[in-house]
Amino acid sequence: METKPLDIRADADHAIVWRNDRLYLLDQRLLPGEECYLELHGADETASAIRDMVVRGAPAIGITAAYGVVLAARRRYAESPAGWRGLMTHDYSVLATSRPTAVNLFWALDRMKRVADNLTAGDPEQRLLREARAIHQEDVAANRTMGGLGAGLIKEYTSVITHCNAGALATGGYGTALGVVRTAYVAGKVKMVYADETRPWLQGSRLTAWELARDGIPVTLLTDGAAASRLAQGGIDWVIVGSDRIAANGDVANKIGTYNLAVVARHHGVRVMVVAPTSTVDMSLASGAEIPIETRDPAEVLRCGGRQIGADGVDAWNPVFDITPAALVDAIVTEKGVVRSPNAETMAQMMAR
């Protein structure tokens, strides 16, 4: 991977860019202090970018992986016009193992592989590129649909709280949870967005606040531990979050700390809205207990900004996601519609639409 200047404004709508037959990613590890792009050349680099958090958020990971397949096909066809499909077995594998929890990754890879497997003779790049672009464009359209559906659930002028980043940076553009916030704000329904900082990667403070400030939407940061006290003070009607995987019964895997927030929201009578495309719903898993939870390097918790903050000899448990039971979720919003009080039956009905 190499840093490249791009002649575009580095904003939330341009986090994933295909330009001049190259894939560029806005390096989200450097935000908000620095805005630069990394140019990727193949599947291995794309997988590293996903694994190293250059790009994150389930829909954005899936889109990036789809473009990674295009890069892989270009390289493999140049190596062997007759045997490129077989050579790509490694590329599918390395991309699939980059992040285990975000089901959009596997959904996008399966979709790209189906296209590749059905191609006849000739260079596969352009056909695969059309499919990757379609995945990208469909995600943006789904986000805008979900934005309208979710905003429709907000009946009065209020404040909301969100956790992690489920905005345009985590998707193809516009955002899932923040797509609802954007739409509701334009409709005059949102007074203030309270954003949890989201340790240890600080996606709330570095990314969500950056996106909302750029859009002129009022945002106030909270430490993760302050959310319960803020909810107790009133004036917040909704917790709005995204998801990396949703089980068939409506259990939700999202950034660690979402479960905490849902529990205290229920105690204070605040409703919980989960916003995610149907590509995030994994109907093969009966419940959240079956969702694989990624655990990352303890150093992410023991260090901050390059400085050690944990005592010598102390270990850390660093799960990236937690499971919020469906019983704590008031509504799941997808591009197919809204599921209120989700359970196995209502989720199946929504997915069958």
CATH code for the domain in which residue 20 is found: 1.20.120.420
- Domain-embedded: residue 94: yes
The pLDDT > 90 percentage for the chain reads 94
Q: What pLDDT score does 306 carry?
A: 85
Nearest by Cα to 112 from 80, 76, 67, 142: 67
Task: Indicate whether 352 pLDDT > 60.
Answer: yes
Q: What pLDDT was estimated at residue 4?
A: 55
Q: Are residues 176 and 233 in the same domain?
A: yes
Average the pLDDT over 121-131 and give the result: 96
Cβ neighbours of 236 (radius 10 Å): 22
Domain presence at residue 36: yes
**Residues 131, 55 within the same domain:** yes
Residue-wise pLDDT tens digits, 321-346: 999 999 999 999 999 999 999 999 99
Kindly state whether residues 85 and 174 are assigned to the same domain. no
Q: Kindly state whether residue 52 falls inside one of the protein's structural domains.
A: yes
pLDDT, position 121: 84
Strand segments, DSSP code E, in the chain are 2-4, 16-19, 22-26, 37-40, 158-162, 190-196, 219-222, 236-241, 245-247, 252-255, 271-275, 281-282, 303-304, 307-308, 321-324, 331-334, 337-340
Residue 144 lies in a domain: no
Q: Is 88 among the domain residues?
A: yes
Identify which of 316, 53, 317 has the alpha carbon closest to the alpha carbon of residue 203: 53
Read off the pLDDT of residues 4-22 as tens digits, 9 standing for 90 and up: 555 555 444 689 999 989 9
Query: C-alpha dihedral over 322, 323, 324, 326, to 10 degrees?
Result: 170
Among 108, 139, 170, the domain boundary falls at 139
* Those residues with Cβ within 8 angstroms of residue 150's Cβ, 6 or more apart along the chain or in another chain: 177, 179, 180, 183, 184, 240, 273, 275, 331, 333, 338
Please tell me whether residues 238 and 154 are part of one structural domain: yes
171 shares its domain with 210 = yes
Query: Which residue out of 244, 282, 322, 330 is catalytically annotated?
Result: 244
Percent of the chain at pLDDT above 70?
96
Please identify, among 106, 139, 172, the residue that sits at the C-terminal boundary of a domain. Answer: 139
Residues 6+ apart with CB under 8 A from 155: none
Average pLDDT over residues 134-160: 98
Q: Which ranges of 154-223 would DSSP assign to H, the alpha helix?
A: 177-186, 203, 209-214
Q: Do 333 and 194 fall within a single domain?
A: yes
For the chain, what is the radius of gyration of the CA atoms?
Answer: 20
In terms of pLDDT, which residue wins out, 4 or 246? 246
The pLDDT assigned to 11 comes to 45
Residues 116 and 153 in one domain: no
Structural domains of the chain, count: 2
- Does one domain contain both 186 and 76? no
Predicted pLDDT at 1: 63
pLDDT(2) > 80: no
Which pair of tokens denotes residue 270?
């605040």
Residue 267: its pLDDT value, please?
A: 98
CA dist 170 and 290 (Å) reads: 24
Provide the total of helices (H) and of strands (E) in the chain, helices listed first: 13, 17
Task: Kindly state whether residue 347 falls inside one of the protein's structural domains.
Answer: yes
Look at residues 207, 187, 164, 247 and name the one whose alpha carbon lies nearest to residue 54.
Answer: 207
pLDDT mean over 274-281: 97
Domain shared by 65 and 6, yes or no:
yes
3, pLDDT greater than 80 = no
Query: Is 330 assigned a catalytic role?
Result: no
pLDDT at site 17: 96
What is the overall mean pLDDT for the chain? Answer: 95
- Cβ atoms within 10 Å, residue 34: 10
CATH number at residue 342: 3.40.50.10470
Count of alpha carbons within 13 angstroms of residue 304, beta-carbon side:
9
**Strands 281-282 and 245-247, sheet pairing:** parallel
Same domain flag for 126 and 194: no
Q: What is the pLDDT of residues 289-308, one digit of tens each?
A: 999 999 999 999 999 888 99
The domain of 23 spans 2-139
Residue 163 shares a structural domain with residue 117:
no
Residue 174 and residue 81 share a domain: no
Token reading at 91: 């590329």
